[in-house]
Amino acid sequence: MMRGGGNDGCASKTSPVGTEKTCTTWEIEALKRLLLNCLDPHVAQDSERMIVYGGTGKAVRNESTFQVIIRELEALAGDETLLIQSGKPVGKFRTYASFPRIVASSSMLVPTAANWETFNELETKGLTSYGQSTAAAWAYIGVQGILQTTFETIGEIAERHFSGKLNGRIVLTSGLGAMGAASHYPSQCMAV
């Protein structure tokens, strides 16, 4: 059996590797692998609850919507588009080969209801999910994704205020949440 497959009819949350595709096209296979990579237990903060990072950033709403999305991706034709609303598949349309395979919108609320109280109520009812920046887009790749931006930011601080070097300096960062793991690498590099 190919890595990433399941024998109970349920998709594993481990991205397959290799050249065997399980979808109709490589474009769609790549989208499936992006989703699976985000939810891989070695990558995701809490793959059982579909949380990719940031405490609440979900790739999909729940296990059942995950299973439906995987089935839909595996059956999606090269001229169809899957519509996903806040981590739940809500439609599939015949489009054109040049159109996107997935159109997704996440955490959308009308302005008068755009507050945490309303959002939390809707999330509790299973009507939405919080996708963070890259979780709902299935584009999260771990700490390395923020490392370059953090490196550039700390490098700019070093350039502007310390002649480009942080030798002998104590670099203190805060408010970085789960991405804080990336903050010490750039400051170490700038000290050289």
> What digits encode the pLDDT tens for the residues 79-129?
999 999 999 999 999 999 999 999 998 888 888 888 989 988 998 898 888
Q: What is the pLDDT of residue 178?
A: 56
Cβ neighbours of 12 (radius 10 Å):
19
Q: How far apart are CA 39 and CA 14, in angstroms?
A: 7
pLDDT band at 2 (very low <50, low <70, confident <90, very high): very low
Of 69, 89, 124, which residue constitutes the final position of a domain? 124
pTM: 0.73
Q: What's the structural domain count of the chain?
A: 2
Residue ranges making up the domain that contains 173: 143-190
Please determine, for residue 4, whether its predicted confidence score (pLDDT) is greater than 70: no
Alpha carbons 31 and 89: distance in angstroms, whole number: 14
Does 10 map to a domain? no
Question: Does residue 102 lie within any of the structural domains?
Answer: yes
Among 106, 59, 101, 64, which residue's Cα sits nearest to residue 82? 101
Calculate mean pLDDT across residues 67-76.
Answer: 96
Structure tokens of 178?
């789960």
What gap in Å lies between CA 121 and CA 109, rounded to an integer? 12
- Same domain for 107 and 67: yes
Domain boundary among 70, 90, 124: 124
**Is 177 in contact with 55 (CB distance < 8 Å)?**
yes
pLDDT at 6: 43
96 shares its domain with 150: no
Residues 55 and 113 in one domain: yes
